[in-house]
Structure 1
Amino acid sequence: MNKADCQIIMSHMMLPNNANPNGNVHGGDIMKLIDDAAGVVAMKHARSTVVTASIDRLDFHRPVFIGNLLVLKASLNATGRTSMEIGVRVEAEDLKKGSVNHIASAYLTFVALDEDGKPTQVPSYQPQSEDDQRRHREAAERKRCYYKS
């Protein structure tokens, strides 16, 4: 599996239409960008139509403001038979100050679909780097915790 098929980096400038009257970007706008970035990774890996099955966890750490450049880093963490867990890290860069802050993290599960809209098998994933292996282990732990509850 090509590393390029397992991750992407996407950026998006936050504009007034993304924000409330105080200049804070709406969390829902950020959520959509997270879903978009994760969906691209899932589609690149599965090479088929994919749908969001769940957002396991989404944590906002800091606010985002008009004029910030959002950088979304999405990576494949693990695969099941027809599903994939994608992790997304979101950073906001203040272009005037040059500062970068980690503002959100999320884990999403996607399911691959065939031409009839039925779940279809996805290629297996073998993490290569130490960071990939760590994310893979953490995804397995999240899955274990999910099935315990």
Structure 2
Amino acid sequence: QPLELNDDDLERVCQIVKKKGANFRDLPGVIVDEDNKVKFDPSVERPKLKSGKFLVPDYAVSFVNGKSKKPFGRLWWDEIVHTVVTRAEPHNQIVIHPLQDRVLTVRENARIQGFPDFYKLCGPIKEKYIQVGNAVAVPV
């Protein structure tokens, strides 16, 4: 099972299109300039979530000076995962499943690291993500 997202993050993840390279930049209310830097679109009102918070959070736009494509990034089937992270939160990493509106499960992360499916991880779900994220890839 994947880490359960809070209501705001789940609402954001559900709006990330299901295509290669998708991330928060595909959400309404942001534009990308000629320098590949994202900023809020001044011509439209910033969309809000049901909670009243902004759909695109400030931290997503300011991360890596606006040039990052990682926040709320959707991993695609043929992409390489450069780093399996210890926290399965979509705020600054590409951890969203290609076709489902959720983050990758602990088992999916373990497979990326080369662990066989019979390998047993112990502890609460957050500890399992940490175990897999801190591990050296099995084939190495």
Question: TM-score, structure 1 length as denominator?
Answer: 0.23
Question: TM-score, structure 2 length as denominator?
Answer: 0.24
